[in-house]
Every structure is written in structure tokens, then in C-alpha cells.
Structure 1
Amino acid sequence: MTQPTAKPAATAAGPQTHDIDTGAGASSDALPNPLPRPAGELEKLEAVWRTPRGWRFITSVNNTNIGLLYIGTALLFFLLAGVLGLLIRTQLAVPENTLLGAGTYNQVFTMHGTVMMFLFAIPVVEAIAVYLLPNMLGARDLPFPRLSAYAFWAYAFGGLAFFCTLFVGLAPDGGWFMYPPLTGMKYSPGLNADFWLLGIGFIEISAIAGAIELIVGILFTRAPGMTLGRMPVYAWAMLVVGVMIVFAFPAVIAGTALLELERAFDWPFFIPERGGDPLLWQHLFWFFGHPEVYIIFLPAAGMVSTMIPTIAGTPLVGRRAIVAALVGVGVFSFGLWAHHMFTAGLGVLEMSFVSAASMAVAVPTAIQVFAWIATLWKGNVQRGAPTLFLLGFMFIFVLGGLTGVMVAVIPFDWQVHDTYFIVAHFHYVLIGGMVFPVFAAMYYWMPLINGNRLSEQLARPVFWLMFGGFNVSFFPMHVTGLLGMPRRVYTYAADLGWNGLNLLSTAGAYAFAAGVLLFFYDAMRTLRRPEREVGNPWNAATLEWLPSEDYGNRSIPRIASAEPLWDQPALAREVGQGAHYLPQSALGARETIATSPVAASPRYLLVLPGDSWLPVLAAFGTAAFFLLLTVKANVLAWTGGAVAVASTIAWLWQSDRPAPLDRHAGVDIGGGLRLPVGAVRTGSHSWWATIIMLVVDASIFASFAFAYLHLSMRLQVCPPPGSTLPPVSLAWLSAGLLALGSVLVWLATRAIGKRRLPWLVLAALGCALASFVVDQHGLRQAGLDGSANGWAAAVAALAAYQGLHIVLLVLLAPYLALRAWRRHLTERSRATLDNIALIWHYTTLQGMAWLAAVRLVPLLME
């Protein structure tokens, strides 16, 4: 194997020194520290970060442990979905096959798509990020370790329970896209659709929790000196993806909520004869669904941009252009949702804009592909397993991109829509664009787990079985689709000319599966081998290859370039000797450095929560609530919900202890630099996490508002005959009460240490409850019945979502008051107060927005 060539000028010069703005008047010249570290310092650091042993391992919140569990669970779902895929191909291998009946086949293909998209593709990219990013950014952990643990356990509990519905005949059978009216009560009266709606809904919430963690971690916990310009491209990709999740996933959460409300309470959002519209589901679903394709692809692209410079032994060509392309793809992706609706009867002008955007998104994608090819051309390429899978990825993904441009042409899409041509296209994009890079990543980063690399000898048959089997399986489907074979059929007649192509596709699928099984055999064999020193086997440039243990790096490095391990060849030794920042546990707790979002200047010492059962209990309670509610076990469901709420409150109470030191005095983190402990208001990472959470919240509300607007525009008269709006006077009274509550909370934020603080909060709660009562009285006075028509159901959904926020305030206000009475709120420990104030003010704005929306839309339509 050819060894990569590092940058000659940098290696000759040795470690480079670049001044950074520490924010505390410290000079970078103080690093590295040549003095030996105090005795016992490392032992204390190891004790604080030690992973629990035995059955207590499940209480771990360390990113490396959670990341490995996350990756392993996602790969399990990949195998399970693959088995379902083989059942599909076996059924279609020959005409008029009776292996699977029509009903069973519907469940199998629905679960195959659902598991692949929701339980493998999205979780695995978040899982790899949870495992890699802290070390790649030079941090000890992500800023909310218990949130990562909660996100994983909610996904694991819920996903496994959801998959088991297949064995009791309750698996969803309406396709992974769940189009109404097929999934309404008229055509799907059983619980099958409910399991999809409630199960997938909370799994998406888990994905959003992971996205918030990643966004805040990337922006606020990078190593000092790692400016945005020096940040790894993979981190850039995950930052873009996190923002995309924040705006895209709320639409599907809103859509699933509306469809479940229709099924459970007969609110006819999607029933045309009662004022609903099935196309509303398609708009909401594909506003999530098409960005999701890029949410899956961009992390893989980020991994490719990280691996290719290493295997080529040269810096990435066009690095800034690639970062710009990542952002461009993220922006374009939100203009493509109607790409899936060209046959739905939309206007020609609207379809033309979407068609143009569908073609334009190929430009930033092509920029990345050409940059990767140029990097390989420029460098001295290692001929190892990662290289094989990366080359296979580029070949397959480019073919998928070409067919993507083809289906962006509206007349062509009309011909191939819902045929096997589309099946071939999206498998080329998704498997080529994500699965092959993930397998390259597992070959590349596997040594980080126990120091052992996967077998190069076995990698070749693994690759050729997967690459050859994939193309043999899916390329013929282009032809099958052009010959007219529709999607989602469980059998076909023998005289249609599809027999040989289907048999060939099935043979290819089994070859692909054989390659996957051979890979997992090699992976299990490698993981069972004795641990060895990890080192830097690929001579990579990024920080994840620094020596690390449970606590991450021995000290947090100071970064001076985008390729730190190439430009600072002594960095690994210095970090391992504790010569950089925070070589100790300054407060006897788990800690990392919080830095500024742009320049990565040290700002404050971030104290992290330790291992706990509470995230596990909260996740179990959440999964139990949604899944038991599906089978109408209401008492047990609400018990699970109570467990989830109680565990979350206890977890927050533990995590938000008063700062152990005066935040202005600060602690020594090495190199002559002292940092304050924690931060408040806009300087706090938790404040920004709350802002991101509220953006998600506002996006869900916007989706409900879109549903109201969409259904209103279908009416000839708005409100429809038989429906009226509550009196204007009650709307003004409700808005006034909400505003008064926000004023009281604002006064509470300025009453730290005063006895009136908890009473101001409780008075604000009284105003919020009074506003809710007024809203409900107005709806009753107007005789508004959500089951009357689609318009009334949309109004009721907006009111219910506002009511859900009032329930949240009922939980938060006593919690805040109790913290005030226990004297846990101080000027240097006020995150609870500031963050709850943000939620309160948002609830006020949302309440005013829904009241205004239901009033203004009918006026605009007069």
C-alpha cells in the first residue's frame, strides 16, 4: 500500500504558531507547556470520565459509547431492512409468484422503505457524527451528553418495538410515504397506519434532538483556534444537515399529527368530500421528504471530503467551494418538494420552477464531485478498501444524479412516474450516495474503536459483491420501468416482457447481500481481536486521530490550520503529554471548553453532566407513551408519559446546579489562561439550544398554519357554511392575557434573588391558563366542531397546538418557582429562568399568531 505524502513545507517547518484571540488576554505563545504535569492529575481525569462497567454501561452518556451503540443499532436495522428487501426481490423473481400474498407484500415493502429511511439512513449519519465529531473538533464531548443518550434510547426502544409489528400483522401497509386517502380510516381501519404515524413521529423527534446537539456542539465546542475556515468539511456538512433537519422534519411531524387526528377524532384534513385535501399530505410529506434525500447525502459527502485528502495524501482541492456547495445543496433542497408531485395536477408555472430547481441542485453537487476527482488526480492515492468504496460511490452516485436530472424534466417524469425507473433512480442515489460512503467510512475509521483495521484481503470480495450486485440488481430496473412495470405491485403476468429482467435483479440483490454479510463477518472478527494502540494508520490530517480515551484527548489542542496533524506534526505528542488546554479536571467534573462560534476563541468552561439512568427512563417512557397509545392502552400509555416527564424534570434539575465558583473569578485551564465557569443569557450554549428548539417549534406551527391556509383556499366561501369564528372581543382578551403573562415573566427575569420572583412566574401561569380558557370558550361559543369539515379541523388543530404549549407552561412554571424558592437561581446560575422565559415569550407570540391567522385569512379571501 502506498503511503500518503504529507505537505512538505508544513512538515519541514514543524509546529506552526498562530496567535488566537483567547478572549481573556492570554497569548498563544504560552503553549505548548514544556513542564511535566502534576502527579495524580491524569488519574483524576480518568476517574471522572470512566465508563460504567457491566449492566451499568447503559447509563453511560459519553459520546463514544453512545455513538457506538447508535451505529450498531442503525446497522442492525440496515440488516433487517435488507432481509425485507430480499423478500421483495424473491417475490418478484418470477411472474405470478405466491410466496407473499398481497397484504403481506404491502406490509413488507412499506416496512422495507420505512426502516431504511427512518431507522437506518437518518440515524446512522447522526450516529457517526455523535461518535466522530467531538474528537474531530477537539472537544471532550458534545455539550448535552444526556440529550444524545436520550435520542439514542428513544430511537432504539421505539424502533425495535415498531419493527416487531411486522410479526403480529400490524405493520403499516400504505407505503413509506403513507398517502391518504389510502391510509385514512375508510381504507385502513386497523392499527397498522397508526403504528407508522405515532412510531415514526417520535423517532423524528429523536432525530431533531440529535440535530440540536450537533449544531450547538459544532458552533460552541470547537478547539481553540479552529475557526469556521479551519473547521473540517465533515463538521460543515453536519452543521448544514442539522439546520436542514430543524426546518424539514417539523413538516412531517405536523403531517403525521394531522393524519392521526383524522384517524382518531374524525377531523377530516384529507377527506375531499368533507373539505379536506389529500394533496395537503403530499405537500407536508415531501417538504420533508426531498430535503431528507440531501440530509442523507450531505453527511456522506462530508465523510468523502474527509477521507479523500487522506487517501490522496494532499489537501482537498477547492475546499471553500465545497463548503459553499454544501450550503447551496441545503438551500436548493427546500425548493424541490413538488418534484414528486409533477403528476398531481399542479400549475404549469409552479412545476416549471420546481423543475428548474431540480436541475440546478446538480451544480453544487457536481462541484463536490469534480473537487474529489481533482484531489485524487493531484495526490498519490492509497489503494486500500476505503478507496474502492469511494470510487464505487462516485460511479453509482453520478449515474443516480443523471437519472435525477432526467426525472426533473416534466414530460419525461409523466412517463416514468410510479414505475420501476424511479425505484432504480432513488436506489442509485441513496445506496450509491450514502451506503457506499458509510462502508468506506467503516473501513477508514474502524481502527478508532480498538486499533485494528478491517481485512484488506476480504475487502475486495466485499466491494465487488456489493458493487457488482448493486448494479446487476438496480440497473435493469431502469429498463423494466421504461417497459411499463409499475411500482408496488406484488406480482405480474408472464407475458409482459419483464421476466428476465426481474430474475436478473433478484440475483443481483442476493449478490449484494452476500457482500454485506461478508463485511459483517469481518467486522465482528475485527472487533473481537485484542485492543492495540490506535495511532494514525492512514496518516490523516484531522484531530480524531489524536490519542484519546474515555475523556477524549489528554488536553484540548490549539489549532493553527485546516490540516493540523500535517501542519503540526508534534501535536499528537504535545496533546498526549497534557501540554495544551485543560489537561486536568479543573472542578472535579466532566468539562470541556466553550468557544466563540466564528473565531473559536475560548469563552468559558463548560461543565458536562455525568452518567445517569434518567435519559434511559425518559426515552423508555416516551416510547411507551406513543406505542401504548397506539393500541389504546391508555392507562399504561399515560403512565409511560408520566415516567418520561418525571425523568426529564429530574434530569434537568440535576444538570442545572448553581455554578461552583464565581463565574467572573474563573479557573486555570493551562497556558496561563483562566476562564469563567459557565455563561448566562446569549453567551450560554443552552440559550442558543433553546432558540434552535423554538425554531423547530415555530416550523411545526407554520406547517399547521399552512394546512389551514391550504384548506381555506380550496373553499368558495371562507368560513364555509355552518362554521363561524369566535367573537373578536375574546380574541383580543386572549391576546392581552398572553401579553400580560409575558410582561410578568420579563419582570421575573429582573427579580433574581427577590422573593417576588416565584410569585411573578405563578401569576404569569395564571394569565396563560386564563387565555386558554378564553380560547376554548370562544370556540365553544362559535360552535366550532373539528369533525364538521376540513376548515374547522384546521382551526381546531391550531388551537390544540397552542393548548399543548399551555400544558408545557403548567409543567415549567412550578419547576421554575421551586428552583427560586430553593435559591438555585442566581445571577451566575440563571439558565433555567432565561430559557423558560424564551419558551414563555414564544408561546405568547404563537398564541397571537394563531388568533391572527384564523381572523386574517377569511378577510383576505373576501
Structure 2
Amino acid sequence: MSADKLPLPAEEARGQDVSLRRRLEAIWDNKPGLVGQLTAVNHTTVGLRFIVTGIAFLMLGGLLSMFMRLQLAWPGNTVLDHDTYHQFVTMHGTTMMFLFAVPIMEGFALYLIPKMIGARDVPFPRMTAFGYWCYLFGGLFLYSSFFFGEAPDAGWFMYTPLSGSTYTPGKSADFWLLGVTFAEIAAVSAAIELIVAILFCRAPGMSLQRMPLFAWYVLVTAFMIAFGFPPLIMASVLLEIERAFDFTFYEPALGGDPLLWQHLFWLFGHPEVYIIFLPAAGVVSTIIPTFSRRPAVGYTWVVLAIIATGFLSFGLWVHHMFTVGIPLLALSFFSAASMGVAIPMGIQVFSWIATLWTGRPQLRQPMRFMLGFFAIFVCGGLTGVMVALVPFDWQAHDTHFVVAHLHYVLIGGLLFPMFAGFYYWLPQVTGRMPSEGFSRMVFWLIFVSFNLLFLPMHFTGLLGMPRRAYTYSEDLGPWVQGLNLLSTAAGFALAVGFVAFVIDMLLMLRHGRRAEPDPWKAGSLEWAMPTPAPAYNFVSQPQVIGRNPLWDDSTVREQIEAGRGWLPFARDEARETLGTSLRTGEPEQVIRLSNATWLPLIAALILAVFFAGFLASWYWLSALCVAAFVGVLLRWLWTTGDPYAPAELDAGHGRVLPTHAHARNAPGWWGTALLLVVDSTLYASLVFAYFFLWLVNDAWPPPTADMPGLVLPGLSLLLVAAAGLLVGRAVRANGEGAAGRMQAALVLAALAGVAAIVLRTVPLGLALGAPQAHAYASVVWTLVGFEALHVLIAVLMAGFTLVRARHGLVTPARSLDLRVTALFWRYSVALWVVGSIVVHLFPEVS
């Protein structure tokens, strides 16, 4: 039955606005039952799933830490043996860093960002759902290692050579490498989703200068994920290839170097700290103005500080490598950068203080956690400046002082704002208010026990308590023993506080008093909708006139609910949201979104089987999964959005706008561009590995390498460049309405790409020999394979676009598929050029 023909109850016949809400609910709500839950793609549902799953992993990681604290309560304890303790340390750190901290803040962002920017959903809802399933399956994959007796035990940082096949011959390290890589797919996909949503799906009138500060924090964080996660993904892929196929990237005897892993890992690892902190700081910058009853002080300065923090964080990775023997001149640079990042962080702290100082603060439950955050995070920041000093770091490295600093920064910087966010936004989710009395007890229990747990670790570390050791000597003295016992007792009290928090949430869900719309009297758009929020967010999308829409115009809520905003329609059973310009927020297009589907779950399940096959060394199964995944992906791409949507649609306010497939600024093009940014960072990490190993080797390439001449590689480069030009001609031919020339150009480009792959890979493979012989052969094989894979994908994209064109889905007006294909071809040509210079030209001139 059509959505606009659904029978309406008699009491809903009061007006068109009630009828519109009913039809929107029919279009946007999840299907009933288990099928509806498994096929849901709505950002509200998926965001909440990230949050709930993150809390579950927090409890698992916390349970592991309780056993660790019991083991360290007394010297010579035997609660855990050496191997089990290191398994628990590894899985605790991995859980907190990869399965809790980043996913839960992405869950907050996915749930809140469309509501804050006045959109009905994110632009790629199926990708969001796919990311969640990858996250869930990746976490289950990691924890399944306990059932096979192969839990990872090399540390959450997996340093080589400890994690190599020589010292870790079983499958434990493979569980970590594959599981973490699987889970990181979710982080990267969510980052792309959030960037496109924030930049191109804001409410009309919401220019960049009017964006909520939380959106700025999430935007910078998403870009940091796009640039920060690929180095770790590449490092993990290289180590897994080394373990599975005996390639050599980290083995010094064959030209590798274990420090390559550390560089790639910490290129991710230190930005990770700010990836965790910045969204939490966005929560702080949202809640403090609300309870201070005034806009945030220094909006522009805070935005600049957010960007500076994100930029500087990528210059700090050696901060974690001060003791590995890096030259002192380099250490001084990274030490200065580590201290310099305190400047933009200080700007944000002073903005928060000034907002409180000049406002009229109200001490409600979210604000208690804000004040706790201030106290703990400032202490963690001060110890961060201490460990940024090289001489001090040499003394405190690998002691419990660093453990204390890490937890003060991450828990103070994440958990306290996160708890504040729960109390602040749960009325919007559940429609009920928290209990001030019980909630106050939860805060004090968590705050006091946290400090009693981690503050003593500063002193035990300075007294010589080693990090990552499963026991310690009585010779460290009674102070160390007493402080460890205090930390253990406080750890259990903190666990009770976490359980009390969960109980408080459940009590609020069941017995909390009903919340009125906008119970905190906030100024941001997520409070412009009913509580709990409907699946479609807004009956009609708002027009924004300032940074605090609800404070700037008291009639915004009424206009939205009365259907006097943008897109006040429920037509064709289609989910729609507006696309707006990057800078000004001017309406540009109507984005038709995908409805509920099984495709994200099926794709994630295929990937899970792929990783399981790789773990079991059943490579035939993994190969079948690749073929199946390509098939699902083609089906996904064919049905994205609304393939047969009209060229233009009424957007309200007398405006007719093109649908996204007919618009020049389509989200799909930008999503592909951002995916290529992530991919280029992966490739840059591989090129970094090539030149790093060149620096540490006396001969690069080694004398045994017999590289082919420049003729065949040069010919392959010409063929790839010609293919790129042919795709460009296809774009022009399509614009001129010459469908035949367009299709012929795509066919020729595909043939040229295949010929280029053969001309480059076959002679190079014959010249290099086995990739297991030396790190040079391993890296070159991987580099060229990476480039050839991209040209092969480009060939498949050309064929896909050709089929779409023959079905009438590529026309002069509807050129998105062809433009995306052309973008990918240009990128593949660029990779081929860089790779040809690095692999073939560089050895000739070095």
C-alpha cells in the first residue's frame, strides 16, 4: 500500500501536519520484528547500536582489568599466570582503544550529527549499517580467540618482532591483526559518512560559520581517522602477509626492520588519542553553553584550535618512541611538537572557563561530570607535558607513571564527557529525565574511585613499578605494595560505579519522569523535535539563521512541526533529505536515500568468512568470498538511492531542485573522493615503508635484485595514461550526447588497463623472483600489486558504467556514475605514475 494512502485513525484527521507525520513514519520507521532490526539502515538505529555495543565492550574490557588489578594487589600473586596476564593486558588495551573509545564516539556522532545539522539522515545509510556490522563482527572475531586458546598476548600495540611468527608461532597474533583490521573498516566508513554529511547535508542557511561546535569537532576527527587509521591498517596487512606467506618487512636479517612497525603504528597511535578526545570535547562545548545559558565564548578561536589540534597531532608519533634510539635532534623536534599541542588545547579549556564565568551556570547532573572532567583532564594534560620532555620520558617510560597518564587523559578526556552526554541526550532518546539523587551518587562514586585507582600509579611508577609486568618484587618497598592494594580496591569501586551508571540508565528508561521537548532549554537543532525523536527527525527541514537556532528564533520548532520548512513531503515511499552547498548551506539538490535492506549485513558476513578463511589458511575460501563480495557490491551500487528518480523534485518554498544523481555536487562523488583520500594514505604508508627500509639498508635494491629496464614499465605507463585520457573522452562524449563514442571509449580504456597490468607485472615478477628473498622484493611486489589492483578495479568500474549506460542510467543529465569512474581512473593513473618513479626510476638515480 502506498505510504500516502495509509488509513489514518479518526483522531489524526485534525490537519495536514498530523497526516504528514503519519506518512513519514510509514516510510522511515524500521520494519517490525527481527527482519526489521537486521535490515535497518536509519542513522538513529545504527548510532544507538554503536553506543550500546561500545558499552558492552567497555564492560568486557573492564572485567579483564579487574583480574589484572587482582594480580597486582600483592607482590608474587598467582591470580593470573604470566601468559594469561599478558593475554588480558593485550585484550584490555585492544578493547578500550579499538572496540570502545572510537566506536562509541562515532555512535554519538552518527546519532547526533544529522539531528544537529537539520538533516533527516546521513547520505550513505547502507554504508553506516555495513560499518556497524563490521565493528560487531570484528569485536566478536577478536574475542573468539579465547575459545580457541589463541588469545593475543603481544600487547595491544603488537610490537615486532615479538608479534612475528618466530616468537608468536600460533594464530593469536593473526586474530588481532585480522580482527582489528575488520573493526577499523567501521571507523573509516563512519568517517567518510560524517564528513559528507557535515559538509553537504546541513540545513538551509547553516553556513560553515553557523555550524554547531560539536559538528566541527566531529568533522576534524573524521578527517583525522581518514589520515590516521590507514597507516595501522597497512602495518597490519604487511605483518599478516609476512606471517602467512613469509614475506619480509620487519625481519632485519632479510632487509626489514622492526622499527617500521612502530613508525606506522604510532602514525596512527598518537592521532588516536585526539581522535578519542575531540568528539568528547565537542560534548563539553555543547553542554557547557546550554547550562551556562549563553553561547560559547570565542567560537572562531575554538574552531581554529580544533583544526590546529588535529593538524599537530600528526607530528607527535615519535613521542612514543623516545627510547628506541632515534637521533637527539629529531627527538627535540617531536618533544617541542608534543608540548606545542598544549596551546590549542588550552584555547579550548579557556573558552569553556570563560563561558562558565560569563554565564549563569546550573549544576545539573551533566554539569557534575563536566566539572569532574575539568579536574581530571587538566591533571592528565600536565603529566602529558612531563612525558613530552625527553629526559623525563627516559626515566618514566615503561613504568606505571605512563599507565596513570594514559588513563587520566583517556578516561578524563572520554568517559566523563561521555557520561555527561548520556545524561544530557538520553531524554531526547527515551523521552524521560534522569533522577538527580541517584545520578549524583553515581557521579561521586565514579569520580572518587577513579582518582583513588589511578593517582597512586603516578607514585608507584616513579618508585620503579614496571609497566606490563605480571608481578613485582617486594624489594620495591611497602609504599608500592600499599598503593597497589589501594588501586585494586578503588578499581573494584569504579566497577561498581559503572554498574550503578547502567542501573541508573535503566531506571530512567523505565521510571524516569516524562521529558518535555527541549528539557534543558538548549539552542541546537536536535532539541527542535519531539522526545523521543522520530525516525525521520524533522517533519520539514528547518531554515537556520544563526549558530543557536532555538535561541535565535523561538518559532523554529513550530515551523518545523507545522510543515512550513523544506521538504514537507512524504512522496513515492522514498526517504529524502536536502543537499546543500559546502560553504553557505544554500539548497542544491534532493538526496534520495536507500531504504532498509539486507545488503549491509550480507556484505559484512562475507567479509567475516573471508577473514576466517584467511585465519584458517583456507585461501580458496577467502578467494570465493572476494568473488561473492564483488557480486554483492555490484548489486549494492546498482540499487543505491533511487536509480529511477526524476531529474527534479519540488523541495518546498517554491524551489525545484535536481535529484542527487543529476546534480554536480552529488554526495556519491564526494564519498568516492574521500575513499580515495583514505586509500592514498594507505599507499603513502607503503611508500614510506619503501624509503624507510632504503634508509636502514646499505644496499637498496640489493645486489641480487635484477630489475628490468625502463622500456616495458614505460610502455605500461603510457597505456595507463591513455586509458585515463579515454575515460576523460567518454565523459565529454556523454556530455555531448554521443552514447556510442562514450561506450567505445570505456571499452578501449578497459583493454588498455588490462594490457598495462600484464606489461608491468609479468617482467617485474620474473626479474625480482620470490618476494620472500629480501625486504626489497617484498615491498616492490606489494607496491606493484597495490597499483595493479586499482587498475583492475578501474577496469571493472568501466564495465559497470558501460552496463549502466546501456540500461539508460548514464545520460548527459545523469552523469554521476561516469564521473565517479573517471575520478577513480585518474587516481589509478596517479598511483601508477608514482609507483613507476619509486620502483623503476628511483633505483636508477639513487
- 2:537 corresponding residue in structure 1: 552
Of 783, 791, 800, which residue of structure 1 is paired with 2:785? 800
- Tell me the amino acid that sits aligned with residue 741 of structure 1: A
- 1:413 corresponding residue in structure 2: 393
Q: In the TM superposition, what whole-angstrom CA distance separates every residue of 1:627-671 from its partner, at most 9, and x where no partner exists?
A: 331122334434444443322221111115545323xxx332222
Q: Secondary structure at the match of 1:593?
A: strand
In structure 1, what is the Cα distance between the partners aligned to 2:697 and 2:660?
A: 54
The answer to whether the 8 Å contact 2:791/2:825 transfers is no
- 2:631 corresponding residue in structure 1: 646
- 1:621 corresponding residue in structure 2: 606
Q: Secondary structure at the match of 1:343?
A: coil
Whether 1:776 aligns to 2:761 is yes
Q: Secondary structure at the match of 2:472?
A: coil
Q: In the TM superposition, what whole-angstrom CA distance separates every residue of 1:670-690 from its partner, at most 9, and x where no partner exists?
A: 222222222557521211111
In structure 2, what is the Cα distance between the partners aligned to 1:509 and 1:205?
A: 33
- Per the alignment, do residues 421 and 645 of structure 1 end up closer, same or farther by CA in structure 2, a change over 3 Å counting? same
The answer to whether the 8 Å contact 1:397/1:432 transfers is yes
In structure 2, what is the Cα distance between the partners aligned to 1:827 and 1:510?
A: 66
Whether 1:181 aligns to 2:161 is yes
- 2:258 corresponding residue in structure 1: 278
Whether 1:289 aligns to 2:283 is no
Q: Secondary structure at the match of 1:782?
A: helix
- 1:720 corresponding residue in structure 2: 702
The answer to whether the 8 Å contact 1:450/1:534 transfers is no
Deviates more, 1:122-131 or 1:256-265: 256-265
In structure 1, what is the Cα distance between the partners aligned to 2:261 and 2:447?
A: 36
Whether 1:817 aligns to 2:802 is yes
In structure 2, what is the Cα distance between the partners aligned to 1:158 and 1:762?
A: 39
In structure 2, what is the Cα distance between the partners aligned to 1:642 and 1:322?
A: 48
- 2:732 corresponding residue in structure 1: 750
Q: In the TM superposition, what whole-angstrom CA distance separates every residue of 1:575-634 from its partner, at most 9, and x where no partner exists?
A: 111111111135541101100011101111111111111111111111221233112233
Q: CA deviation at 1:331?
A: 0.7
Deviates more, 1:316-325 or 1:852-861: 852-861
Whether 1:79 aligns to 2:59 is yes
- 2:485 corresponding residue in structure 1: 503
In structure 2, what is the Cα distance between the partners aligned to 1:751 and 1:773?
A: 29
In structure 2, what is the Cα distance between the partners aligned to 1:150 and 1:727?
A: 45
In structure 1, what is the Cα distance between the partners aligned to 2:427 and 2:663?
A: 41
Q: In the TM superposition, what whole-angstrom CA distance separates every residue of 1:527-572 from its partner, at most 9, and x where no partner exists?
A: 3459956511100000001124111111111011111111211111
Of 112, 131, 151, which residue of structure 2 is paired with 1:171? 151
- Tell me the amino acid that sits aligned with residue 679 of structure 2: D
In structure 1, what is the Cα distance between the partners aligned to 2:534 and 2:105?
A: 23
The answer to whether the 8 Å contact 1:621/1:642 transfers is no
The answer to whether the 8 Å contact 1:450/1:531 transfers is no
Whether 1:55 aligns to 2:34 is yes
- Tell me the amino acid that sits aligned with residue 489 of structure 2: A
In structure 2, what is the Cα distance between the partners aligned to 1:467 and 1:530?
A: 24
Q: CA deviation at 1:40?
A: 4.0
Of 238, 261, 265, which residue of structure 1 is paired with 2:245? 265
Q: In the TM superposition, what whole-angstrom CA distance separates every residue of 1:388-440 from its partner, at most 9, and x where no partner exists?
A: 11111111111000000001110000001111111010110000001110011
- 1:17 corresponding residue in structure 2: none
Whether 1:121 aligns to 2:101 is yes
Q: In the TM superposition, what whole-angstrom CA distance separates every residue of 1:74-128 from its partner, at most 9, and x where no partner exists?
A: 1111111111111111111111111111111111100000010001111011111
- 1:13 corresponding residue in structure 2: none
- Per the alignment, do residues 784 and 640 of structure 1 end up closer, same or farther by CA in structure 2, a change over 3 Å counting? closer
Whether 1:541 aligns to 2:523 is yes
The answer to whether the 8 Å contact 2:17/2:561 transfers is no
Q: CA deviation at 1:293?
A: 0.3
Q: Percent same amino acid at aligned positions?
A: 47
- Per the alignment, do residues 193 and 101 of structure 1 end up closer, same or farther by CA in structure 2, a change over 3 Å counting? same
Whether 1:593 aligns to 2:572 is no
Q: In the TM superposition, what whole-angstrom CA distance separates every residue of 1:304-351 from its partner, at most 9, and x where no partner exists?
A: 000100111111111111111101100110100000111111111111
Of 754, 774, 785, which residue of structure 2 is paired with 1:789? 774
- 2:715 corresponding residue in structure 1: 733
Q: CA deviation at 1:475?
A: 0.8
The answer to whether the 8 Å contact 2:712/2:760 transfers is yes
Q: CA deviation at 1:206?
A: 1.8
- Per the alignment, do residues 724 and 743 of structure 1 end up closer, same or farther by CA in structure 2, a change over 3 Å counting? same
- 1:841 corresponding residue in structure 2: 826
Q: Secondary structure at the match of 1:655?
A: coil
- TM-score of the pair, normalised by structure 1: 0.93
Q: CA deviation at 1:856?
A: 3.8
- Per the alignment, do residues 628 and 777 of structure 1 end up closer, same or farther by CA in structure 2, a change over 3 Å counting? closer
- 1:829 corresponding residue in structure 2: 814
Deviates more, 1:522-531 or 1:403-412: 522-531
In structure 1, what is the Cα distance between the partners aligned to 2:255 and 2:141?
A: 35
Whether 1:382 aligns to 2:375 is no
Q: CA deviation at 1:283?
A: 0.7
Aligned-residue CA RMSD (Å): 1.8
In structure 1, what is the Cα distance between the partners aligned to 2:17 and 2:471?
A: 73
The answer to whether the 8 Å contact 1:659/1:677 transfers is no
Unmatched segments (≥5 aa) in structure 1: 1-34
In structure 2, what is the Cα distance between the partners aligned to 1:809 and 1:302?
A: 39
In structure 2, what is the Cα distance between the partners aligned to 1:751 and 1:532?
A: 61
In structure 2, what is the Cα distance between the partners aligned to 1:70 and 1:639?
A: 30
Q: CA deviation at 1:526?
A: 2.5
- 1:30 corresponding residue in structure 2: none
In structure 1, what is the Cα distance between the partners aligned to 2:504 and 2:628?
A: 41
Number of matched pairs: 824
The 5-angstrom pairing of residues 578-589 of structure 1 reads 578-589=563-574
Whether 1:668 aligns to 2:654 is no
In structure 2, what is the Cα distance between the partners aligned to 1:815 and 1:192?
A: 40
Q: CA deviation at 1:817?
A: 2.1
Q: CA deviation at 1:36?
A: 6.9
The answer to whether the 8 Å contact 2:204/2:587 transfers is yes
In structure 2, what is the Cα distance between the partners aligned to 1:446 and 1:287?
A: 35
Q: CA deviation at 1:518?
A: 0.5
- Per the alignment, do residues 373 and 797 of structure 1 end up closer, same or farther by CA in structure 2, a change over 3 Å counting? same
- Tell me the amino acid that sits aligned with residue 461 of structure 2: G
In structure 2, what is the Cα distance between the partners aligned to 1:788 and 1:374?
A: 62
Q: In the TM superposition, what whole-angstrom CA distance separates every residue of 1:698-728 from its partner, at most 9, and x where no partner exists?
A: 1111100010011112222322121132221
Deviates more, 1:791-800 or 1:537-546: 791-800
In structure 1, what is the Cα distance between the partners aligned to 2:353 and 2:822?
A: 51
The 5-angstrom pairing of residues 324-363 of structure 1 reads 324-363=304-343
The answer to whether the 8 Å contact 1:624/1:641 transfers is no
- 1:423 corresponding residue in structure 2: 403
The answer to whether the 8 Å contact 2:433/2:512 transfers is no
Whether 1:850 aligns to 2:838 is no
The answer to whether the 8 Å contact 2:749/2:795 transfers is no
**Higher RCO (CA 8 Å, separation ≥ 6 residues):** 1
Of 111, 126, 136, which residue of structure 2 is paired with 1:146? 126
- Per the alignment, do residues 858 and 534 of structure 1 end up closer, same or farther by CA in structure 2, a change over 3 Å counting? farther
Q: Secondary structure at the match of 1:484?
A: coil
Unmatched segments (≥5 aa) in structure 2: 1-13
Whether 1:252 aligns to 2:209 is no
- 1:4 corresponding residue in structure 2: none
Whether 1:306 aligns to 2:291 is no
- 1:571 corresponding residue in structure 2: 556
In structure 2, what is the Cα distance between the partners aligned to 1:429 and 1:785?
A: 46
- Tell me the amino acid that sits aligned with residue 734 of structure 1: S
Of 592, 608, 629, which residue of structure 1 is paired with 2:593? 608
- Tell me the amino acid that sits aligned with residue 59 of structure 2: L
Q: In the TM superposition, what whole-angstrom CA distance separates every residue of 1:146-166 from its partner, at most 9, and x where no partner exists?
A: 111111111112212222212
The answer to whether the 8 Å contact 2:435/2:512 transfers is no
- Tell me the amino acid that sits aligned with residue 601 of structure 1: E
Of 482, 485, 504, which residue of structure 1 is paired with 2:462? 482
- TM-score of the pair, normalised by structure 2: 0.95
Deviates more, 1:746-755 or 1:610-619: 746-755
Of 369, 372, 380, which residue of structure 1 is paired with 2:349? 369
Of 610, 634, 637, which residue of structure 1 is paired with 2:622? 637
In structure 1, what is the Cα distance between the partners aligned to 2:123 and 2:657?
A: 17
